[in-house]
A and B are shown apart, each in its own frame.
Chain A
Amino acid sequence: MRNTARHATIALSLAALFTGASLMPQVASASAESVAKGKAIAWNRKQGNCLACHVMAGGESPGTIGPPLVAMKSRFPDRKKLFNQIYDATKSNPETRMPPFGTHKILSNAQIEAVIDYLYTL
């Protein structure tokens, strides 16, 4: 009994280590390719369409419904927090008008990660 629990803990911390390890390099230096992909998704009307509501540097005719997406690195040092805001904004604000991109399968996790790589250039 105790043993199983201990194994589980080890397995969990190992898993944490691995995901941590695989995420770290991405944060440090997102590839130009991923940034470009993320930008395309964010600007595309059929995908992220973030421009419908947010000012994003260089984006044409942005909406004014959400706050401008600027200085993202300093405002969102915690990548996980940014992911959560995009994955399901209703979690932090039940009355939000921002679509829950992850929960409603508008974007895949990989697409959200690419969008975040792009956001960190803003």
Chain B
Amino acid sequence: MKMTKLAIAAMCCALVSTGAFAGKKATDTTPEQDLKTYQSFFLKRFPGVPLNEFGNGVYAVNSIWRDNWKAIEEFPPYDPMIDEGETMWNTPFANGKTYGSCFNNDPAQRKNYPYWDDARKMVVTLPMAINECRTKNGEKPLKYAKGPITRILAYMAYKSRGQKINVVIPNKDALAAYNKGKSIYWARRGQLNFNCGSCHVQSSGQHIRTNVISPALGQATGWPTYRSKWGDLGTLHRRFMGCMKQMRAKPFKPQSEEFRDLEYFLTHMSNGIAFNGPSARE
């Protein structure tokens, strides 16, 4: 019953124009305006879904999938991986120092990322900060899409659960990075000529074959994510790459400037929603 209501809600909004965000130049609206526009778009599109609930992705908007997922979350497949991450956190590097030395001895750092580093004029993400901690201490950097980095991320995300997203855009240079991320989001690309919003804004909640598409709102909250398809944890940028491949476009590299700016834009959209990683997805 609930499902039908949601489906109908999604159907009747299918024709909603996204000219409000899609047609314009990135610089036409401010981040504050964007935040209002996007959040109210999704809250209207999915009536009855509270803001924070969007952190559960597709399961916030589709009750059939939600039941299945709730069963999975009873015995989360990522649990042992959080423990592996905790071990990494506590194991000293060859020089005797630990990750804690780079992070105030507190793994609950999620709320501080991504942020604008004004000295370096770049967006810094948590995976990047983890690797910078490693190299500063004489260790090799970890690969960014999957593998050990997802373990330490899982532990830090777990310890940060409940922290509210609050991405700040402090000045003109940061705004330029935000706008770059926004342009990347809305640029049509690949053989199929999609932009990210074709699916996650315009088609959110709808079926694409058997898949139901999650709303853009809340998409940055639950990382790293355990995907049944991967059989493992992966990072947000790994997911970006997968979606770009679906568009039949050449993906950017994990932690490239493009993906960091995209993350900056996408995370800002979810300001006010709680971080809830790691998470499980189909």
Interface residues of A (CB under 8 A from B): 45, 51-53, 61-65, 90, 94-95, 97, 99-100, 104-106
A-B contacts at CB below 8 angstroms, number: 49
24 A–B pairs (Cβ distance < 8 Å), ordered by A: A45-B209, A52-B208, A61-B207, A61-B209, A62-B207, A63-B207, A64-B10, A64-B14, A64-B207, A65-B14, A65-B206, A65-B207, A90-B193, A94-B23, A95-B18, A95-B22, A97-B198, A97-B202, A97-B203, A99-B193, A100-B193, A104-B192, A104-B193, A106-B192
Q: Which residue of A lies closest to B194 (CB)?
A: A97
Chain A neighbourhood of B208, CB < 8 A? 52-53, 63, 65
Q: Which of B200-229 contact A (CB under 8 A)?
A: 202-203, 206-210
- By secondary structure, the B interface counts as loop
Q: With the chains together, A94 CA to B14 CA distance in Å?
A: 15
In the complex, B95 has a CB within 8 A of chain A: no
- 3 smallest CB-CB distances across A and B, nearest first, come from A99-B192, A97-B198, A64-B207
Asked if B19 is at the interface (CB within 8 A of a chain A CB), the reply is: yes
A90: B residues at CB distance < 8 A = 193
How far is it, in angstroms, between the C-alpha of A97 and the C-alpha of B192 when the chains are bound? 9
| Structural contact, B191 and A104, CB atoms closer than 8 A | yes
CA–CA, A97 and B193, complex, Å: 8
Question: Which of A45, A65, A94 sits near B203, CB closer than 8 Å?
Answer: A65
For residue B187, CB closer than 8 A to chain A, the reply is: no
Complex interface: chain B residues within 8 A of A45 (CB): 209
Tell me if B11 counts as interface (CB < 8 A to partner A). Answer: yes
Whose C-beta in chain A lies nearest to the C-beta of B17? A95
Q: Please name all residues of chain B whose beta carbon is closer than 8 Å to the beta carbon of A51 when the two chains form the complex.
A: 209
A64-B11, A65-B14, A100-B193 are contacts. A95–B23 as well, Cβ < 8 Å? Answer: yes
Which chain B positions have C-beta within 8 A of A94? Answer: 23
* Shortest Cβ distance from residue A52 to the other chain B in the assembled complex, whole angstroms: 5
Q: Which chain B residue lies CB-closest to A100?
A: B193
The distance from the CB of A46 to the nearest CB of chain B, in whole angstroms, is 10
- Give the distance in Å from the alpha carbon of A116 to the alpha carbon of B53 in the complex: 43
Q: Is the CB of A106 within 8 A of B191?
A: yes
Expressed in whole angstroms, the minimum distance between the Cβ of B65 and any Cβ of chain A is 14
Which chain B residues border A53 with CB–CB below 8 Å?
A: 208
- Nearest Cβ in chain B — how far from A59, in angstroms? 10
Q: Does B206 lie within 8 Å of A99, measured CB to CB?
A: no
User: What separation, in Å, do the CA atoms of A52 and B18 have in the docked complex?
Assistant: 21
Please determine whether A52 and B209 come into contact, CB atoms closer than 8 angstroms. yes
Query: Is the Cβ of B194 less than 8 Å from the Cβ of A99?
Result: yes
- Given contacts A61-B210, A63-B208, is CB(A99)–CB(B203) below 8 Å? no
Given contacts A104-B191, A104-B192, A104-B193, contact A95 B19 (CB under 8 A): yes
Find the residue from A90, A99, A106 having the highest chain B CB count within 10 A.
Answer: A99
CA distance A94 to B192 in the complex (A): 14
CA distance A106 to B208 in the complex (A): 18
Asked if residues B191 and A99 are in contact (CB atoms below 8 Å), the reply is yes
CB-CB nearest in chain B for A106: B191
- Docked complex: B44-96 residues within 8 A CB-CB of A: none
From B22, B199, B207, name the one whose CB has the most chain A CB atoms within 10 angstroms: B207
Given A90-B193, A97-B194, A100-B193, output 5 extra A-B contacts at Cβ < 8 Å.
Answer: A51-B209, A61-B209, A62-B209, A65-B203, A65-B206
Contact B209 A63 (CB under 8 A): yes
- State the CA gap A45–B210 with chains docked (Å): 12
B19 — which chain A residues lie within 8 A by C-beta? Answer: 95
- Which chain A residue has the least Cβ–Cβ distance from B205? A64
Contacts of B191 in A (CB 8 A): 99, 104-106
